[in-house]
Structure formats: structure tokens, C-alpha cells
Chain A
Amino acid sequence: MTTGMALRRINCTQCSAPLELHGGHKVERIVCSYCGSLLDNGEGYKVLERHYVEKGKRSFMPLQPGDEGTLKGVSFTVIGFITYRVELESWTEFCLFSPTHGYAWLSWENGHYVFMRRLRNLPAPSSSWWSFQPRQKIAQGATRFKFYEAYSAEITDIGGELPWHGKLGDRVNAADAVAPPRILSQEIEGQEIEYHAGEYLPPQEVAEAFDKPDIGERGLPRSVHPAQPYVVSPLDLYLQFSGRLFGVLAFLGLLFTLVFGSGDVLLQERFSWQVVKAGDKRVTRSFEVTQPGRLVEVSLGSSVNNAWLWLDLDVTRKGEEVFSLGKEISFYEGYDGGEHWSEGSQGATALFRVPKAGVYELNIKASEWGGRRYKSSIDVVIAQGILLNRWFLILTVLLVPFALWALARRMIFEYRRWAPVTQDEDDD
């Protein structure tokens, strides 16, 4: 698409060092990379200032003037850079030039990259955003942005060629709005307001575009950039899909057991206290099981209060014991400080299976007791074909976090995106 541009060379008017120029005729300032002099491109490269950071004294920068790369299908050359600082945060914007597509900026902050271009189609509102609140709506075309923050940044370093007339120490008032991966930046200088539209670029894409493996190895992204899109990892997707699939199945199983798992009642009878406490003699009742192999449930109910009693239960068939257990029913309640409390239960259940269909006998007896109101009749219900729902319930509960895994991760990501500006707001 683009063709190569002619390289121009000049000699620094301060130190005579040879400088290679890559920019176009809109370049206003040139910084000598050897002596740090700031030259005015419009005034015969007149020296404007001299105290810029000299070559070799800067910390790591992923790109340098003269680097070439292809972004969005267009060949660009890095022609200069500006470093800004707001309190403890700093970032560098590399100026890119294409002879066919003009000037663009590649912002580098905490290992993140944003490709910015001048925006002519103004957003609404297009007045100053300085007093906006985080997440306030801003429209640009069909995209709805959320206001992020306004700031006054100081220029701490510049280098190369720049289509711009600033100098060290100048301050730039700007405001950003985001719709990840897009970002809108409003710069206010006097009465003029300029807009730039940006798009977040993964560091790997920048590294490949400029053939700079260092970008991937050094300065990996830290924190969450305001314009960084949330990218769902394959593992997150897998966990979410599995959680939702099996969670739904477990929930359906739970519903099924709740609707169809209560079984068929085989015996339902109330035994008076005098009957169940009668010495060594047990109360015996017969019931017929027609679904062997499936669970049979014995449910016990009482009216014990602030008391306990121990019930011995046996299930026999033709005199042979099939199932035997002791079951305690214990229930206490009262008032403490005016508040009602209770513990224990006035009922109990037991589950068992029988080996084959037929008539079985239930033997029941109260063997021990204590407390105030232990003299209670006992309600006995025996049902067959019981389906347990507790396992489906546990499975459903366990799978919910997996089903919501990606959503939770996204919420955490969004929290980290907005925390720097919403915390400031809270502090205010």
C-alpha cells in the first residue's frame, strides 16, 4: 500500500552531529539525539533549548526513532516520542509517520500499547470533559464510551521529530473515555480541543509489527489498562461451559428428585407414648415392599420438648433382622435475652434397602429418655422408592462457581480497570 519514503539528513545546528529525519513537512520540533538540543524545523533548525536527555541515558524503551513496523496494514516509521508524567505514573507516546497515512501515536504505559490517531468526527458531548464523572456516557459514531478520567500531565522527556511544538515541563490537559478496546482522548490547549481515537493493541502484536522480541520479554503488561479488553482464556471458557452444562444437569436432577423422589407410602401410623415405652416388648407393624433395591425411608415424628428419647428400630423378615438402628430424637428451646432459641429436632429419618420384595416387620421401642416433656407419641411413616436429592444439591452448589467462573473473572477485571478512578472518587 505504501511506498518507501526518502530519508533526509541534517546536521545538528548545535553539535553538528548527523541526524536522520524520517518525518514529513508537518514536523515542528527535532531533538538532537546526541547533544539533546531542541531544534525548530520551521526556523532553519534553530536551537530552542538544550537540556534534554542525552542518547544512552534513558531507561529501556521498546521502540526507537527509525524503527519501522506495520500496524493496521500500514507501514509506519517511529519518528519521535514524548514522555508524560502524572504524579507517580508515567507513559511514553511514540510518534509514527507514514507518507501515505500521515501521523499516528503509539502509547506505551506499564507494558500496554494503544494505537492512537487524530479524530475528526467529534464525539458528543464535544465540550470539555474535565468535570465528568467516571462512567459518564460519551458517544462517538455508533460507539458508546464511558468517561474514565481527566488529568494534567507534565512532559518529562521528548526525542526525535515531532509534529508538535511543546517542550519539557509543558503541561497537557487531557481526558479519556473508554469502550474497550477503543479509547477516546480529549486534549485541551487554550481554546482548542483535539480528539484522538485509539485502539488497544496486544503487546505481541506490537512486537511482531516492529520485529522487536524485547517487547514480549521485557516490560510485560502490569495492571489493567483502561482500554484493555477482557479476553476470555480457553480454560475459563472450558470451566464455564462445563460448570453450566453439568450445573444444569445437576439442577434438573435436583428438581426431579424433589418432584418424584418422595416415594410411595407403605405405612403411616401414630404410636402413643404408652405403647412405645412398654418395657422390653416392642411394637410390631407389617409393611410390604414391592420395589426391592430401592431406598426405603423411615420417618419419625414426635412432640418432645426440652427433652430427648432414644428409639430402637428393627426391620425383620420372617424373624431375620434386615436392618437395625438406634435413633435419638432431641429438641430443646427457650429464650435468652428475649430472643427465642432452639436446637435439635423433633423428628428423625433413616434409610435402608431390603434385599427382595415381600412383607417386612418394623419393630420400634423407646429405650431411654430424659428431660422435661419426653412423653410423646411417635408418628411413623415408611415409604419406598425414595430418591435422595442431597447429592444433586451438593453437586449443583459445587458447580455454580464454575458456571460463574468467567463472569466472576470479568467482574474482577472490570473492578481492576475502574478501581484507580473510582477509588479516587471515593476518597474525594
Chain B
Amino acid sequence: MTTPGKTRLFAEGDRRFNCTGCGALLPRRLRYSKLVVCDNCRSILYLHSDAIDNLGTQAALAEHPSLFQHHHRFGYRNMVLEPLGMVRYGYGRGYWEEWWCLDDKGHEYWISVDEGDFVMEQRQSIDTGLPKANRLKPGKKVTLLHESWTVTELGNAEFQGMKGELPERVNMSRRFFYAHLERPGSRLITLEYDDPEGIPDLYLGEWMDPFEIEIF
């Protein structure tokens, strides 16, 4: 059965998908994914309902050394996580990567990696009491989640590319303003503003020690 404008390419029984660009079989781990990059033709596929949109292809993403590899599970303290996908954002002179990981219970984590600086965060469903972007200054104290946080970094970033699978659709031309807020105990909040006047996405997490990451 085919929906007009959308391609339904999986059978109800095994839920396997094929790339709409080249027909290659896509990974099985699609229970949580919404966006998939075909390893074969680099088509970006958006999955919704029971159909797939082909959003086009992306240029080959430059390979950089990374502790994380696609689908290579790793341990951190008492957690076991599997990286399913990665988005790379450029900022200033460099870039950082955000790895979308799942633990054994299906909990989602975003781990950002920037030259040895690792932060593990989870998105929080909060849309009230969040500061406007122009209210943030380095060193300013901000109360969020009933705690006081210090703004430590502000900057602009832009989407550079992705690979693997992601749980949400990503705007390929995304540019956004971000803010890092910290408090003692290595805890950290990231606010991402796609609209400087709008409500940011809030990610709550903590710094990770890369020397404690164990690749299986």
C-alpha cells in the first residue's frame, strides 16, 4: 500500500526500510529514529507515520578522529550506551559533534564532543521561565529548574552535516544561538535558540570525563 507523495517501503512484520534514493536496506534500529542518512548514497530520509520523505543528499562529511563510532557501544560509569547518529555543528574556528545515544532501556542522551570536552545531556520539556537570548551575558546568574546557574559561554552555530540516525528532523540550513550555563558539581545546561526572540530548547546534563569512557 502506498500513500501519495510518500513511499511506504517496509513490511508490517519486520519493519525493514529501504532507501528511497538507492534502494539499499536501511538499519533495523528505527524504532526511535525519525531521520536516517543512507550509508550507501547519503540520502537523508525522514520517517514519519509509515512513510519516508527523501530530503535530498548531503555531501560527504569529513571524517575526524572520535571516541564514538556509529553503533559501537560504550560504557560510562554504570551506563551502557550506543551511538546511533551524529550531527556536526560549526562554530567560530571549529566544530562540535552531537551524538544521539540510547541506553539499554531506550532512554535518549545527547553527548556533545568538542576536542576532548564531553557533555552528556537530555532534553527537558520546559517552555516557561526560560530567558530570552539577549538577556544572557557571560558570568550572569540565571535561575532555571529552581537552581542558580552561571552563563559560561555564548555563541552561534550552524549545521554542517550528520550521519546515522536521529530522533528528530533537522533543518539542514539550521543556524542557531546557544548558551552554556554551569553550576558546581560539573552540571551544565545548554539553551538552543533557533529564534533569538523565541523559546529555546533546554538540555540538562553534566560534563563527562573522556578517560572514564570505555569502548566495547
Contact = CB atoms under 8 A, between A and B. Distances in A.
Contacts, number: 54
A25 interface: yes
A98 B116 contact: yes
Nearest to B95: A25
Nearest to B93: A25
B117 A102 contact: yes
Interface in B168-216: 184-186, 207, 209-211, 215
Contacts of A74: 211
Interface residues of A, number: 25
A103 B115 contact: yes
Contacts of A117: 211
Interface residues of B, number: 20
B65 A2 contact: yes
B4 interface: no
A99 B65 CA distance: 6
Contacts of A100: 65-67, 116, 210
A51 to B, nearest CB: 26
Contacts of A338: none
B184 A126 contact: yes
B186 A1 contact: no
Interface string B121-143: 00000000000000000010000
B65 A102 contact: no
Interface string A31-67: 0000000000110000000000000000000000000
Interface in A314-348: none
A221 interface: no
Contacts of A3: 65
Contacts of A25: 92-95, 115
Given A120-B186, A120-B207, A122-B185, A26 B67 contact: no
A423 interface: no
Interface string B84-123: 0000000011110000000000000000000111000000
Given A101-B211, A103-B115, 16 more contacts: A1-B67, A25-B94, A72-B211, A74-B211, A98-B116, A99-B64, A99-B66, A99-B115, A100-B67, A101-B67, A101-B116, A101-B210, A120-B207, A121-B186, A122-B186, A124-B184
Interface of B: 64-67, 92-95, 115-117, 139, 184-186, 207, 209-211, 215
